[in-house]
Amino acid sequence: MKVLSKSLSALVFASFLLAGCTVKEVKPPNVMVILADDLGFSDLGCFGGEIKTPNLDQLASDGLRFTQFYNCGRCWPTRASLLTGYYPQQIGRDNAPGIKGGGGGERPEWAGLIPRSLKDAGYISYHSGKWHIDGMPVESGFDRSYYLGDQARFFSPKTHYKDDKKLPAVERGSGYYGTIEIADRAIDHLKEHKKNHPDKLFF
């Protein structure tokens, strides 16, 4: 009985100690995903590449690096998997025997994109670049988007969108270059976020 009494006393004492402890609230992080086509594993400085990539190296240093993360050989299964959390074969976004869909496949209704879920956690979501997923970015949960749908014409796209609304075609010789436009629009999104939503998280 003495042993039980001592154990019970110790348990009560420990519970009083724990009751006085406060757990520090951890603020969820902002999230930035950079998905690049045709980029080799060792092309970036942070992975041992010879090309100087100081800004990306800084992002890698301050953030999270995936060192055992594999993608598909095509961009659309990778994008679908990354933005839904499902294997592309599960959601009709792969060209495999017996799988209906491929690049033109439509996701099932239950396979929503991450921005929809993050909205409930207080995030504002931005997209800039290629899309290659069924539907449109804003209708799929992003708050703002620049979508370059015409990758074959990086200097004069006929198909590009701002917030799901089609923009006029770009004339040749205008000085437009798709990669720079995508980066500039992403930077504009971040500046707009800092100005209009400084207390909100971004994805």
pLDDT tens figures, 62-81 = 988 877 777 777 788 888 88
Measured over the CA atoms of residue 148, residue 149, residue 151 and residue 153, the dihedral's sign is negative
Q: Is 193 one of the catalytic residues?
A: no
Q: Report domain extents, the chain.
A: 33-202
Q: Which residue has the higher pLDDT, 192 or 65?
A: 192
Q: What's domain 33-202's superfamily in CATH?
A: Alkaline Phosphatase, subunit A (3.40.720.10)
pLDDT at 176 over 90: yes
Structure tokens at 13: 């004492």
Q: Print burial letters for 167-201: b (CB count within 10 Å at least 16), e (below 16).
A: eeebeeeeebebeebbeebbeebeeebeeeeeeeb
* Catalytic entry in 46, 72, 75, 127: 75
40: Cβ–Cβ under 8 A, 6 or more apart, which residues? Answer: 49
* Catalytic entry in 127, 132, 160, 193: 132
Q: Which residue has the higher pLDDT, 71 or 113?
A: 113
pLDDT of residue 13: 47
Least confident of 20-29, 69-78, 132-141: 20-29
Structure tokens at 5: 């009494």
Confidence of residue 96 (pLDDT cuts 50, 70, 90): low
Please compute the mean of the pLDDT values over residues 90-97 and round it to a whole number. Answer: 76
Block residue for tokens 């209704």: 109
The string of pLDDT tens digits covering residues 34-56 is 888 777 778 888 888 888 889 98
pLDDT of residue 23: 61
Q: Is 75 one of the catalytic residues?
A: yes
pLDDT of residue 11: 45
Alpha-carbon separation of residue 150 from 12, 64, 139, 191, 196 (angstroms):
67, 31, 19, 26, 30
Confidence of residue 20 (pLDDT cuts 50, 70, 90): low
pLDDT at 59 over 60: yes
pLDDT of residue 8: 44
Block residue for tokens 């033109």: 104
pLDDT at 4 over 80: no
pLDDT of residue 41: 74
